């Protein structure tokens, strides 16, 4: 069964304190892995798509990496405005266009 697990559930950091969020996945053939940011009361906002192991993408203080079993979202020198819930999702090549989300990591950055 296709599955996505994110850890930790919640993470509190001091401003400037770098860290990583984890997304472990089990799929029968990966078509794509996606990272989204969600602010309270709003819809998720797309960040990155990764397609194959070894791929990396960056955007401002965020960097996403992908291996055959997991993806990491690295946050370098975060600011309070980076506080949000970060969601990981996968699309398996075997299940047409179904998309499976993890339950998210709630990130809080203290000034």
Partner 1 sequence: EAQVTQNPRYLITVTGKKLTVTCSQNMNHEYMSWYRQDPGLGLRQIYYSMNVEVTDKGDVPEGYKVSRKEKRNFPLILESPSPNQTSLYFCASSFGQGAETQYFGPGTRLLVL
- Residue 89 within binding range of partner 1, rule CB under 8 A: yes
CA-CA-CA-CA torsion for 67, 73, 87, 32, nearest 10 degrees?
A: -30
When asked if residue 13 is in the footprint of partner 1 (CB under 8 A), the reply is: no
The C-alpha atoms of residue 98 and residue 111 are separated, in whole angstroms, by 39
Nearer to partner 1, 96 or 111 (CB): 96
In angstroms, give the least distance from the CB of 84 to partner 1: 14
Residue selected from 49, 76, 83, 108 as contacting partner 1 according to rule CB under 8 A: 49
Q: Nearest 5°: phi and psi at 81?
A: -70, -5
Q: Is 24 in the site for partner 1 (CB under 8 A)?
A: no
Q: How far apart are CA 66 and CA 55, in angstroms?
A: 6
Contact 38, 45 (CB under 8 A): yes
Q: Which residues bind partner 1 (CB under 8 A)?
A: 31-32, 34, 36, 41-46, 49, 87, 89, 91, 96-104
């Amino acid at each position: 069964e296709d599955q996505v697990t994110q850890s930790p559930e919640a993470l509190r950091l001091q401003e400037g304190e770098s860290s990583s969020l984890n997304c472990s996945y089990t799929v029968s053939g990966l078509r794509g892995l996606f990272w989204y940011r969600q602010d309270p009361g709003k819809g998720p906002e797309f960040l990155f798509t990764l397609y194959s192991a070894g791929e990396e993408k960056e955007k401002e203080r965020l960097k996403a990496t992908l291996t055959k079993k997991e993806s990491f979202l690295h946050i370098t020198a975060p600011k309070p405005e980076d506080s949000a819930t970060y969601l990981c999702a996968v699309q398996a090549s075997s299940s047409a266009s179904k998309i499976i989300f993890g339950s998210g990591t709630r990130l809080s950055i203290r000034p």
